[in-house]
Amino acid sequence: EPEVTQTPSHQVTQMGQEVILRCVPISNHLYFYWYRQILGQKVEFLVSFYNNEISEKSEIFDDQFSVERPDGSNFTLKIRSTKLEDSAMYFCASSGHTTETQYFGPGTRLLVL
C-alpha cells in the first residue's frame, strides 16, 4: 500500500541553524501538506501546496519557513534560523484532492538546542 515517507526520523540542531525536512508524498497525489505537533499539544496546520505553489498557510508559517518541491517526488520544509520553540514533531501529508483523505507520514522529530 502506498505511503508517505519522511526523512530524517529524528533531527537535533543548534538554535539558529537551518534544517530541511524531507517528505516523499504518495506518488499520484497532487496536494501536499506540513503539520506540526509540539509535545503534548494538538496537531497544527502549517501549509498546503498544490501545483508548485502554496495554496494555504497558517499564522505559524512565517518567513522563517519555506516549502519546495525540488523534483517530481520530494517535498521539503525548510526552517531558517531555528528557535527553541520550533522543537516539535513535523508531519508531512498528501491527498489526491482537497476534499479527500490526507495521508500522513511517520513524522520527523526535531529538537532545537
Q: Which residues bind other proteins (CB under 8 A)?
A: 31, 33, 35, 42-45, 48, 55-56, 58, 89, 91, 93, 95, 98-107, 109
- Nearest-approach distance from CB 87 to other proteins, in angstroms: 14
> Is 11 or 104 the residue whose CB approaches other proteins more closely?
104
Element (H, E) at 109: strand 108-112
SS3 103: strand
8 A C-beta contact, residue 85 and residue 33: no
Least distance between other proteins and beta carbon 34 (Å): 11
Give the residues across from 62 on adjacent strands.
none
The smaller minimum CB distance to other proteins, of residues 19 and 35, is found at 35
